[in-house]
Amino acid sequence: MVVTGADLPIGRRVIAAALAEPGVDRVVAVGAQLSIRRLETITDGPELLLAPFDLDDSRLVPLVTGATRVFLAGPRSGLDIDGTGGSHIDVIAARTFLASLTRVGAVSTVVVLSSALVYGARTDNPIPLTEHAPVRPNSAINASNERAELERLCGTWARSRGATCAVVRPCIVVGPENGKWLARSSWATAGLQLSGVVAPVQFLHLDDLTTALTAVCRARFDGPVNVAPDGWLTVDEVRALKGPAARLRMRKPFVHVLARLGEHFGVAPGDPDALLASSGQWVVANDRIRSLGWMPTFSNEEAYVDSDRGGVWARLTPRHRQHLALGTVSALILSAAGGAAVLIRRHLTSDR
């Protein structure tokens, strides 16, 4: 089994799962920034070969010879946009890697980590999106176009080889490893925000993404499959989970100028593409992945608070933070209803 993106949080988790998978005798971990120290603790069981190379490096060829299963989780670089480890995917290097597998591999199963962002971040998207929805990446969001191109590339290659190709499309992926990214991202409803955004959002825990990737590989699933917890969160629910935070809401032209400046100088407020991605809705249904026996262990709320561990709320467990936040929302709704009742009563009294 070959796992690319082994230098990313999701790659390391997939490697650990692969080493525990029955019938696997060798795992090749591929990643240009591979940390041997981080993989030392998961070397029990099948043979683990470390390949600290880019996908287009010829030194990979002897290592992947005879591979039957491939996880394409990377490489990814640049500012993250969906929690998978980086917005940029080197499609050209991926094409070279697949060509190498054609010559020396015996691949029967390919699992590609893509993103639900390929459906496009659009206000007219149905809620939720199923796998039957058309792939409509936003032209202004490079990450969505690169993921759609990777899907096409891998699907075409797999069909030509008679292999299955599972294209996994998760929602926003979160976990303790990318908490800093989440805290400064547009998904956290803090910092720089696009005014008027009301799009719902989903948060998938890294643990649940790992088990989903393993499930589709084990089933030799062929085709696209969405991965997300049940349901979704509104903007107000995310704000309640986040708790008190500084927010700057601006109109679209101004927010993108400020975001571009932040990107250029490498400081907050961050990625302008992520602001675009968060302005439209792309929440997905999980019926297909559930039909393979997968079940989420984290709800949207629990996944979010397990990743966002900063501030005063860090002293509370994820479930307590969830309950407190949702209780706050309920209290606000009741207060608003009570206030409205008082105003109506005063109005009726004054008319007598």
pLDDT tens per residue, range 10-34:
999 999 999 999 889 999 999 988 7
Percent of the chain with pLDDT over 70: 74
Whether residue 296 lies inside any domain: the answer is yes
Computed over every residue of the chain, the mean pLDDT equals 83
DSSP letter (8 states) at residue 67: -
Whether residue 114 lies inside any domain: the answer is yes
Q: Minimal CA–CA distance to 55: which of 91, 22, 20?
A: 91
Assess whether pLDDT exceeds 50 at residue 312.
Answer: no
Q: What's the whole-number mean pLDDT along residues 156-176?
A: 97
Domain assignment of residue 151, given as a range: 2-177+202-229+283-309
Six-digit token string for 251: 């109109």
Whether residue 247 lies inside any domain: the answer is no
Assess whether pLDDT exceeds 90 at residue 343.
Answer: no
Whether residue 349 lies inside any domain: the answer is no
pLDDT grade for 276, boundaries at 50, 70 and 90: confident
Measured in degrees and rounded to the nearest 5, phi and psi for residue 32 equal -65, -30
Instruction: Return all residues near 131 (Cβ < 8 A) that are at least 6 apart.
Output: 169, 223, 224, 225, 226, 288
Is the CA virtual torsion 102, 105, 108, 112 positive or negative? negative
Counting the structural domains of the chain, the total is 1
Whether residue 275 lies inside any domain: the answer is no
Q: State the alpha helices, DSSP H only, in the chain.
A: 9-19, 36-39, 61-64, 91-104, 142-161, 179-184, 206-218, 235-242, 252-265, 272-277, 287-290, 300-307, 318-350
Whether residue 213 lies inside any domain: the answer is yes
CB atoms within 10 A of CB 286: 25
pLDDT for the residue numbered 313: 43
pTM reported for the whole predicted model = 0.82
Question: What CATH number is given to the structural domain containing 87?
Answer: 3.40.50.720
Characterize the bridge pairing of strands 88-89 and 76-77.
Answer: antiparallel
Whether residue 69 lies inside any domain: the answer is yes
Whether residue 245 lies inside any domain: the answer is no
